[in-house]
A and B are shown apart, each in its own frame.
Chain A
Amino acid sequence: MVMLEQIIHVIYVLFAAIIGWFLLRNLFKRVKKPGIVYDIVYAYCVIPFLLRVLGIK
């Protein structure tokens, strides 16, 4: 059970990394919604995922 908890925890941290990577990819290489406002939103939304993956927040 303790091991299972830890595995789930690690999987969620990996999810955070994957979502962060998708946000970065969509910042630079997206097809739809090319506006600057979306650039700002994608860049800003990277912050919580980055901090989670780095174990800071």
Chain B
Amino acid sequence: MENEKNAKGGRAAMSGRARLWLKGGFLAAALAMAFFAGREFWELRHYKETVVSAPGLTEVKMLSDYLGSLKGTWMDTPIFVYDSGVPGGSALYMANVHPYEPATSLSAYIMMENIKVSKGKIFVIPQGNRSGSTTGMLGNAYPKFFHVKTDFGEKQYRIGDRGTNPLDQWPDPFTYVNYPSKQNLAYQDIRNMNRTYPGRKDGTLTERASFAIMELIRREKIDISIDAHEASLMYPVVSTYVAHERSFELAMMAAMTLSAETFDMKCESSPKGLRGLSHREWGDYSDTLAVLMETPEPFIDRVVGPMTEELFTEGKDEFLATAAKHGLTYHPYKIEFGSPLWYRCGRHLSGAAAAITWMGQFFPEKEIIAEWPGYKDLEAHDCGYFLHDPAKADGKLVFKI
């Protein structure tokens, strides 16, 4: 009897130890998964993109120069200034406010690497929401990076999220109330830089970044401010300028010129009741002429198949082509062409140039004379042709962002 009890106790003890080992094994497996996943997240968070500025660079400012509390945060971002020294107008080209639309930042880099300004002044912000560019979209299985082929090898760029990284601003409220309009917006829009304008200097990190952008526009007296975005093809405002009422005429003329000469471009008036967006608040809270631009990016359409790097760079998707055949897209779409990266960058570069040119037509005292590669240049050579080798460049003109 005694022996039988001991035997049972032994079996129970063995079973308990085995179970503990099993639990430890499960935990070890989970930690291994956390390690491998974490390594990828870490890589995206800390990877820095390289840009070689054109020699015309006169100054590099930081967003924290316009609001000190941004210093040392992930929202602090460089502002590149190209001043001709000749009196004229001033323009701001801002990209990657939504970092899951990174053809905008690539277009800014192409602009920065090749810009020549002979009248007026140009400000370029290639990473509008730098925090958001350091995390991927939850649940969408996006690639972390995209690559651009150049003569000196491939260049790698981040594909980020729509809003600020939750590591930097968290938690979200149940409802986001835009300041100062008090308009209720979706909760996650509290991290969406293009819903938090005009911002507030003591608000959330995203609101403070938006406030700093407003301060930049006001203090530097920027005449035209261009906010570059990408849109899904099933979104009505794709391939469009969205302009504040003061800039609507110049945007309409730019759209007509582009549509006649290079590519289809629409023009919409900024709705007065839709608050927090750049094309509304930049114009209402400063004297700038506010324009937002959208290009067609199949990568962020909801109906597409696997979200691969190839889809991002080529934009070819059979599901989207089927949707287009049924008239469900707001941009003419053919799978043979897709919506390649050069096309989207080219649209932005020529779109910005056309808006600035037309500002000079309407307001001669604000004329800016500047040049950078446009749509036809990118059509002929692709994006990588216009990027320069950091290893061979003057170190003072190489920046990591």
Residues of chain A at the chain B interface (Cβ within 8 Å):
1-2, 5, 8-9, 12-13, 24, 27-28, 36, 39-40, 42-44, 46-47, 50-52, 54-57
Contacts and interface: CB of A to CB of B under 8 A. Distances in A.
A46 B34 CA distance: 9
Given A2-B208, A43-B26, A43-B27, A12 B170 contact: yes
B155 interface: no
B156 interface: no
A36 B22 contact: yes
B33 interface: yes
B204 interface: yes
Given A2-B202, A5-B205, A51-B37, A57 B135 contact: yes
A27 B27 contact: yes
A24 B170 CA distance: 24
22 contacts: A1-B202, A8-B171, A9-B169, A9-B171, A13-B170, A27-B23, A36-B22, A39-B23, A43-B27, A43-B29, A44-B30, A46-B27, A46-B30, A46-B31, A47-B34, A51-B34, A55-B167, A56-B41, A56-B42, A56-B45, A57-B38, A57-B167
B27 A54 contact: no
Nearest to B42: A56
Contacts of B42: 56
B87 interface: no
A13 B166 CA distance: 11
Nearest to A16: B170
Contacts of A50: 31, 34
Given A47-B34, A50-B34, A57-B38, 12 more contacts: A2-B203, A5-B203, A5-B204, A8-B171, A24-B27, A27-B23, A28-B20, A44-B30, A47-B33, A50-B31, A52-B167, A55-B167
Interface of B is mostly: helix
Contact of A27 (B26, B29, B37): B26
Interface string B193-214: 0000000001111001000000
Chain B interface: which size bin?
Answer: 20 to 34
Contacts of A57: 37-38, 41, 135, 167
B69 interface: yes
A18 B354 CA distance: 55
A50 B35 CA distance: 10
Contacts of A42: 26
Nearest to B204: A5
B26 A51 contact: no
Contacts of A52: 167
Q: Which 4 A-B pairs have the closest CB atoms?
A: A43-B26, A1-B202, A43-B30, A57-B41
Contacts of A40: 26
A42 to B, nearest CB: 8
A14 B37 CA distance: 22
A28 B16 CA distance: 11
A28 B23 contact: yes
A55 B30 CA distance: 18
B26 A39 contact: yes
Interface in B1-47: 20, 22-23, 26-27, 29-31, 33-34, 37-38, 41-42, 45
Contacts of B45: 56
Contacts of B31: 46, 50
A57 to B, nearest CB: 4
Nearest to B20: A28
B171 A39 contact: no
A13 B167 CA distance: 9
B38 A51 contact: yes
B69 A54 contact: no
A54 B38 contact: yes
Contacts of B202: 1-2
A41 B354 CA distance: 56
A55 to B, nearest CB: 6
Contacts of A27: 23, 26-27
Contacts of B135: 57
A16 to B, nearest CB: 9
A2 B22 contact: no
B171 A12 contact: yes
Contact of B37 (A36, A43, A47, A55): A47
